[in-house]
Amino acid sequence: MKDMGKLLKQAQQMQAKMAQMQAELAEKSVEASAGGGMVKVVMNGRHEVVSVTIDPEVVDPQDVEMLEDLVAAAVTEAASRIEEMLKDGMSSITGGMGLPGMF
């Protein structure tokens, strides 16, 4: 029974650390770009797009599809960087032990 109590306490401590890490990461942001920096996206740790910057040179009314692709690529890259931050944070809490279903 002592071991079960100890295990429960460790789980609660890990849960508290995870909540703290998530709160800290929510305040951070990443920037990603596409098209050699022609399109830039800033995303916060809650996966919210904070800003999109588009160089006027890439705005071509005859090729809207390229602009759409660049925006999508920049958003995807920003999301990937946020996921990497989350994984790194989780790894620091769990000591590298993979927990299924966690991020």
pLDDT tens for the chain, residues 1 to 103:
678 888 888 888 888 888 888 888 888 999 999 999 999 999 998 899 999 999 999 999 999 999 999 999 999 999 999 999 888 887 877 665 555 554 4
Using an 8 Å Cβ cutoff, are 25 and 81 in contact?
Answer: no
pLDDT in the model for residue 103 = 47
How far apart CA 37 and CA 49 sit, in angstroms, is 17
* Closest alpha carbon to 46 in 27, 72, 21: 27
How far apart CA 42 and CA 33 sit, in angstroms, is 9
* Closest alpha carbon to 43 in 52, 30, 55: 30
- The residues, ordered by sequence, that sit 6+ positions from 71 with a Cβ below 8 Å of its Cβ are 34, 39, 41, 52, 54
pLDDT in the model for residue 88 = 84
Domain 2-94 classification at class level: alpha beta
pLDDT in the model for residue 24 = 84
pLDDT in the model for residue 61 = 93
pLDDT in the model for residue 58 = 93
User: Is the pTM of the predicted complex or chain greater than 0.85?
Assistant: no
pLDDT in the model for residue 96 = 57
